[in-house]
Structure formats: C-alpha cells, structure tokens
Amino acid sequence: MKKDEIYPYYIDYLNDRLNEGKISKGSLSLLKMSSSSFEDFKYRFENDELFNDKVIELHKSEVRDKKIDDIFDDLDWWDNSRRCWC
C-alpha cells in the first residue's frame, strides 16, 4: 500500500480532512494503516474526475508548501551559522 504511487495523495487527503476537523488524530492514524480505506480512496481517485482534480491540486499545494518550508529552514540554518559569538 505505501509503495503505491497514489499513497502520497492519500496522505495529503487525510491530512486535509484532519485540518478541516472531519477526522480526529486517532482516526488519521488508523486510516493511514487501513488498506480498505486506501482502496476506497484509490477507486474514487481513479473513477471520479472532480475528486481526482481536487486531490491533485491539494497534493501540489502540499508539495509547494514543503519546498517553501525547506527553503526557509535552509536560510535559518545559514543565518545561525554566520553568527559570531565573539
């Protein structure tokens, strides 16, 4: 399941549902491990064009946000390493 190319989309979808308050953190943990829930998601992802488009956009924004966070983390490290405590 985790090796499936759609799995990252599934995780982003679940995290979005958590952020919207539609599931709890406990449910999130269980859904990440549930193969039946993943298979339901996968079927809907492959057969429902509107759902597919929504999830792809959600995934793109998550990837973009992570890249931006990584850039700021690198800049923060750079600023901290240039400080002189003399």
Cβ contacts of residue 62 below 8 Å, gap of 6+?
12, 15
pTM above 0.85? no
User: In angstroms, rounded to a whole number, what is the distance separating the alpha carbons of residues 3 and 86?
Assistant: 50
Residue 79's pLDDT band (boundaries 50, 70, 90)? low
Dump pLDDT digits (tens) for 16-72: 999 999 999 999 999 999 999 999 999 999 999 999 999 999 999 888 878 787 787
Report which of residues 60 and 75 the model is more confident about: 60
Structure tokens at 82: 């240039």
Q: Which pLDDT score, from 0 to 100, does residue 78 have?
A: 55
